Amino acid sequence: MKLDRLLSIIILLVNRRKVQAKELADLFEVSVRTIYRDIDVINQAGIPIVSYQGAGGGIGLSDGYRLDRSVLTNNELVEIVGALQSVSTIVPSRDSKLLLEKIRSIVPDADAEGFQLRTRRLIVDFSSWTRNAWVEKKILLLKQATEEERETAIVYCDAQGRETERTVEPYALVLKQMSWYLYAYCLTREEFRLFKLFRIKEIAVREKRFVHREAETELLPWNKEWKAPDKLAKLTLRFRRGVKHLAEEWFDVEALAAEPAENGQEEHYLVRAEFPEDRWLYGFILSFGPEVEVVEPLSVRRQVERLAAEIGQIYSSSRGT
Which of 216, 239, 258 is at the close of a domain?
Answer: 216
195 shares a domain with 241: no
- CATH number of the domain within which 236 lies: 3.30.70
53 falls within a domain: yes
166 falls within a domain: yes
Report the DSSP pairing between strands 179-186 and 232-240: unpaired
pLDDT-derived band at 151, boundaries 50, 70, 90:
very high
Q: How far is CA 266 from the centre of its chain?
A: 42
What region does 109 belong to: left with phi over 0, alpha with psi -120 to 50, or beta? alpha
Distances (CA, A) of 144 to 91, 96, 138, 140, 188: 12, 15, 10, 6, 21
Highest mean pLDDT among 35-39, 126-130, 207-211: 207-211
* Whole-angstrom distance, CA of residue 291 vs CA of residue 240: 6
Instruction: Kindly state the average pLDDT of the residues 13-21.
Output: 78
Of all residues in the chain, what percent carry a pLDDT higher than 70?
Answer: 82
Instruction: Kindly state the average pLDDT of the residues 178-191.
Output: 90
Of all residues in the chain, what percent carry a pLDDT higher than 90?
Answer: 22
56 shares a domain with 8: yes
- CATH number of the domain within which 177 lies: 2.30.30
- For the question of whether the overall pTM of this predicted structure is more than 0.85, the answer is no
Considering the chain, what is the average pLDDT of its residues?
A: 81
146 falls within a domain: yes
Q: Is the pLDDT of residue 70 over 70?
A: no
* Whole-angstrom distance, CA of residue 215 vs CA of residue 209: 16
Return the pLDDT at 3. Answer: 64
125 falls within a domain: no
Cis peptide bond upstream of 297, omega within 30: yes
Q: Is the pLDDT of residue 69 over 60?
A: no
Tell me the helices (H) and strands (E) count for the chain, helix number first.
11, 11
**Which three-class secondary structure state does DSSP give residue 240?**
strand
Half-sphere exposure of residue 67: CA atoms within 13 angstroms, side-chain side: 18
Supply the range of the domain harboring residue 93: 74-118
* Whole-angstrom distance, CA of residue 87 vs CA of residue 81: 10
Return the pLDDT at 154. Answer: 95
Return the pLDDT at 277. Answer: 83
Q: Is the pLDDT of residue 285 over 80?
A: yes
Q: Where are the beta strands (DSSP E) in the chain?
A: 49-52, 58-61, 150-157, 163-176, 179-186, 191-196, 200-209, 232-240, 256-259, 268-276, 292-296
282 falls within a domain: yes
Tell me the one-letter amino acid at 304. V
* Whole-angstrom distance, CA of residue 43 vs CA of residue 49: 6
Buried b / exposed e over 192-206, threshold 16 CB at 10 Å, is bbbbbbebbeebebe
In sequence order, what are the beta bridge partners of 167?
153
Q: Is the pLDDT of residue 155 over 60?
A: yes
pLDDT-derived band at 265, boundaries 50, 70, 90:
low
Q: Is the pLDDT of residue 213 over 80?
A: yes
* Whole-angstrom distance, CA of residue 306 vs CA of residue 303: 5
Residues with Cβ within 8 Å of residue 139, at least 6 apart in sequence: 90, 91, 173, 180, 197
69 falls within a domain: no
Instruction: Kindly state the average pLDDT of the residues 203-220.
Output: 86
Return the pLDDT at 210. Answer: 93
Instruction: Kindly state the average pLDDT of the residues 167-189.
Output: 89
Residue 238 near residue 178 (C-beta atoms within 8 A): no
- State the DSSP code for 64: T
Q: Is the pLDDT of residue 201 over 60?
A: yes
Instruction: Kindly state the average pLDDT of the residues 55-62.
Output: 77
In sequence order, what are the beta bridge partners of 240?
268
Instruction: Kindly state the average pLDDT of the residues 180-201.
Output: 91
How many domains does one find in the chain? 4
pLDDT-derived band at 263, boundaries 50, 70, 90:
low
Least confident residue range of 98-107, 151-160, 206-215: 98-107
Model confidence over 286-320: pLDDT tens digits? 999 999 999 999 999 999 999 999 998 888 875 65
Q: How far apart are the first and last CA of the chain?
A: 63
Model confidence over 90-122: pLDDT tens digits? 666 666 777 777 777 777 777 778 877 887 777
Which of 216, 243, 260 is at the close of a domain?
Answer: 216
CA angle 80–97–25, rounded 5-degree value: 155
209 shares a domain with 179: yes
Tell me the one-letter amino acid at 77. L
